[in-house]
Amino acid sequence: MTLLQTSGCLRIDRAREVRIFNSKVQMMGTTLNVYAYIVDGMLIDSGPHRMRKGIEYFCTQNRLDKIVHTHFHEDHTGNTGYLMRKLRIPAYIHANSIDICQEKGIIPVYRLVFWGNRRGFTAEALPSIIENDHSTFKVIHTPGHTQDHVVFLDKEEGQLFSGDLFVHPKTRVTRRTENIPLLMESLRKLLQESFATVYCAHAGKISDGYNLVKQKLAHLEDLQDQVLTRFNKGLGIKMIVQEIFPQTPTIAYYSFGEFFFV
Ligand SMILES: [Fe+2]
């Protein structure tokens, strides 16, 4: 009887084990890491189209019954249409992005070169709670990076799948379309939750995740103070940027200004 119970627990533990896919893109002096995860039959983000073969292999080596997305960007949704057809599984994304994902991505050339494009797919709206065979995930809306961004929290395991919400404790560059004050609000909301390990789409597994999310918020609050202090002294935007961010990051050139310093 004991043996049977032990073996049952083992099966559940293995089902809840986080499987990790990782690949890199190197171009023009920039290296970008991509991570995708499978946990308890759920693929979290399908990676960029350029990594299709690797992602497909990863998916066929693990039990898979659905794809969920943290947001609509092409490096998170690039293989969804293909995998849905091939494996006959459903996909879910925030309700705000279902229409965007029906169509092929409209993205700048440098991102097409980096990631490849997203083919259109028909997703369903993410529920607020995802019930898998052996695990339950809370879906938390965390806008800022994009309006549809969500993270997936397994409260029981203390594991958070954070998409592009975290990436680095000291954010160095941001896109023009990002809303940093809103992202800060999302970080504050997230810090009300209990978790330890963070699984990031570009930084991988972070064991000290909660504290690093806290550090990221503190860093952004410090930057906000620096900007406001200068603004209240009467400095214009150009002068504030020159004082706080004296160097232009390489990505700002080849993204034609889509990326700039935070
Ligand atoms: Fe993103």
Q: Are 124 and 91 in contact (CB under 8 A)?
A: yes
Separation of 234 CA from ligand 1 center, angstroms? 34
Q: What is the CATH number of domain 12-261?
A: 3.60.15.10
Tell me the DSSP string of the chain. -HHHHHHHHHHHHHHHPEEEEEEEEEETTEEEEEEEEEETTEEE----GGGHHHHHHHHHTS---EEE-S---HHHHTTHHHHHHHHT--EEE-GGGHHHHHS-----HHHHHHH-PPPP--PEEPPSEEE-SS-EEEEEE--SSSTT-EEEEETTTTEEEEETS-S-SS--EEETT--HHHHHHHHHHHTTS---EEEETTTEEETTHHHHHHHHHHHHHHHHHHHHHHHHTT--HHHHHHHH--S--HHHHHTTTSEEE-
Phi-psi bin for 45: left (phi > 0), alpha (psi -120 to 50), beta? left
Q: Are 68 and 98 in contact (CB under 8 A)?
A: no
Q: pLDDT for 35-51, tens place per residue? A: 999 999 999 999 999 99
Burial readout 225-255 (b: 16 or more C-beta within 10 A, e: otherwise) = eebeebeeeeeeeeebbeeebeeeeebbebb
Separation of 261 CA from ligand 1 center, angstroms? 16
Separation of 202 CA from ligand 1 center, angstroms? 9
Separation of 55 CA from ligand 1 center, angstroms? 18
Is the model's pLDDT at 26 over the cut of 70?
Answer: yes
Separation of 178 CA from ligand 1 center, angstroms? 10
Q: What pLDDT, on the 0 to 100 scale, is given for residue 254?
A: 56
Separation of 222 CA from ligand 1 center, angstroms? 23
Structure tokens at 216: 């990221």
Separation of 164 CA from ligand 1 center, angstroms? 5
CA dihedral 225, 171, 141, 17 (to 10 degrees): -140
Separation of 179 CA from ligand 1 center, angstroms? 13
Distance between alpha carbon 100 and the CA centroid of its chain, in Å?
17
Is the model's pLDDT at 211 over the cut of 70?
Answer: yes
The amino acid sitting at 112 is L
How many whole angstroms separate alpha carbon 80 and alpha carbon 104?
12
Q: Are 215 and 182 in contact (CB under 8 A)?
A: no
Q: pLDDT for 121-171, tens place per residue? A: 999 999 999 999 999 999 999 999 999 999 999 999 999 999 999 999 997
Q: What pLDDT, on the 0 to 100 scale, is given for residue 4?
A: 37
Closest-CA residue to 195 (of 157, 141, 152, 149):
157
Highest mean pLDDT among 6-10, 213-217, 240-244: 213-217
Separation of 3 CA from ligand 1 center, angstroms? 46
Separation of 63 CA from ligand 1 center, angstroms? 26
How many whole angstroms separate alpha carbon 131 and alpha carbon 173?
36
Beta-carbon neighbours within 5 Å of ion ligand 1: 73, 164
Q: What pLDDT, on the 0 to 100 scale, is given for residue 10?
A: 58
pTM: 0.89
How many whole angstroms separate alpha carbon 21 and alpha carbon 35?
5
Separation of 131 CA from ligand 1 center, angstroms? 25
- For the chain, give the mean pLDDT: 89
Separation of 237 CA from ligand 1 center, angstroms? 26
First to last CA, the chain: 59
Separation of 145 CA from ligand 1 center, angstroms? 7
Q: pLDDT for 60-98, tens place per residue? A: 999 999 999 999 999 999 999 999 999 999 999 999 999
Separation of 12 CA from ligand 1 center, angstroms? 32
